Amino acid sequence: MRAHSGMGIDMANGTARRTVAVIGGGYGGSAVAKALDEETDVVLIDPRDAFVHAAGALRALVRPDWAENIFFPYDTLLKHGTVRRGRAAAVDPGGVTLASGERIAADYLVLATGSDYPFPAKTDTDLAGDALARIRDAHAELAAAGRVLIAGAGPVGLELSGEIKAVWPEKHVVVTDPAEELMPGFLPELREELLRQLDALGVELRLGTALAEEPPSAPGRLKPFTVTTTTTGGDAIGADLWFRCYGVRSNGDYLADGRITARDAQGRVPVTERLNVVGHDHIYALGDLTDLAEAKMAGYAMKHAEVVAANVLAQVRGESPTGTYRPSPPSVLLPLGPGGGVGQVPTPDGPAVLPAEQVSAYKGRDLFTGRFAELFGITRD
C-alpha cells in the first residue's frame, strides 16, 4: 500500500482525506481540480498566476480593450484546495518535485500540462500582467502594419486572419501553408464554405506554398520584409509583420527521466481507456498531453476531466473506478471574426456542417468566456 500524505481529515466520517496533485491548470487541470475539491485535498500546480483561455487569445490580440477577459486568476477556483505556483520538474509515484526543489507528496497524480503554441495563440509568460502587456504591444505593431503574413492555414491561422479582417478590413492578409487542402478530415462542404468566406473577407490564401526560410523579423514585430517561397518559380511574399501559426509542442519535460512513462514521438503520454497513465492505477493524464487518437481540444480536455474526477472519487471512496473515455470524432468551431466562421459537429446521423450564424452564437460572439467565468466563480460585465 502506498503511504498517505495525511494532509487532512474528513470531518464527516473521520477518515483521512486523500491528496490529489494536479499538474497544470489549463482547461482539463482546472476542471478536474474543481470537481475533486469537495472530497479530496487538491493541490493544483501551475507556474502561471491565472488560467489563460487560449480560445480567446486571437480576439485579445485585435481587441486589447477585451483582452483581460481571457485571464482568470486561480484564487477563485477552489474553495478547499490550494493552488501552488510552480513548475513540475519531476514526478514519481508518490508525488511531484517542483523546479524550486520543493516536494509535494500525493496519493493521486493528474498530469494535465497540455501543450504550448507560438504567441499570440498561447501566451509565453507566467504572469497575466506581462502577457497582457505583450498582447498590447503586438496589437500596436499589428495596427500599424498594412500587409500581414500568417504562416500556417490550420484553424489557428485561419481564425487569426478572420479576427484581423473583422477589425481592419483594409489590411492585406496572406495565409500560406505547404498543404494543398484546408482542414483535412472534415466535410467538403465545410471546406467550400470556408473558402467562400475567406474570399469574401479578401484573405489571400496560398495553399501548397512553403516559405523558403523564416522571415528575418520576430513574429508580431513591425519590420517590413520579403521572403521567397518554395513554389515553382520561387515567387516572393512581402509583408510588414508575420505570425507563426504552427508548431504545437507537448509540455512533458518533467517526465523525461522515464520513471512514470515513456512518451511517444510527439511527447505525448500513453493512457488507458480509464485515462490512467499506462501501468499506474493512481496516476492519470488528460488533455493535449495524452496520446488519445482525437484532435487536441479544450472541449475534450474538459470531458477527460469528468472521467478522471469520477475515477479518482470512486477510488477515494473505496469503490472500483468505472469511468471510461472514447476518443471523440472530428468536430470544429472555427470563427472568422465575431459574426462569421464554419463548424462541424457529430450527430446521430453523421457529421453536420453548421452555418456561420450558429458558429457565431455558440462560439464566435463571446468565445466561451461566460463558461469560464462560471468555472472560476466570478462575474464580469
- Interface residues toward ligand FAD, by CB under 6 A: 23-29, 45-48, 54-55, 57-58, 87-88, 112-115, 117, 121-122, 156, 251, 254, 287-289, 296-299, 301, 333, 363
Question: Least separation, in Å, of the C-beta of 16 and ligand FAD?
Answer: 26
**Cα–Cα distance measured from residue 298 to residue 286, given in angstroms and rounded to the nearest whole number:** 10
Question: What are the cell numbers at 6?
Answer: 495525511
C-alpha to C-alpha distances, 81 to 34, 117, 302, nearest whole angstrom: 9, 29, 19
C-alpha to C-alpha distances, 58 to 8, 197, 242, nearest whole angstrom: 42, 18, 14
> How far is residue 314 CA from its own chain's centroid?
28
**Cα–Cα distance measured from residue 275 to residue 278, given in angstroms and rounded to the nearest whole number:** 8
Which of 227/364 has CB closer to ligand FAD? 364
Question: Least separation, in Å, of the C-beta of 9 and ligand FAD?
Answer: 28
Question: Least separation, in Å, of the C-beta of 48 and ligand FAD?
Answer: 5
Total count of residues recorded for the chain: 381
**Are residues 28 and 21 in contact, defined by beta-carbon separation less than 8 angstroms?**
no
Which of 48/171 has CB closer to ligand FAD? 48
Question: Least separation, in Å, of the C-beta of 299 and ligand FAD?
Answer: 4
Query: Closest by alpha carbon to 53, among 279, 303, 375?
Result: 375
Which of 145/305 has CB closer to ligand FAD? 305
DSSP element (H, E) containing 335: strand 332-336
Which of 145/301 has CB closer to ligand FAD? 301
Residue 271's Cβ-side half-sphere holds a number of Cα atoms within 13 Å equal to 30
Which of 190/227 has CB closer to ligand FAD? 190
Question: Least separation, in Å, of the C-beta of 30 and ligand FAD?
Answer: 8
| Angle formed at CA 379 by CA 373 and CA 381, multiple of 5 degrees | 110
Question: Least separation, in Å, of the C-beta of 117 and ligand FAD?
Answer: 5
Which of 229/363 has CB closer to ligand FAD? 363
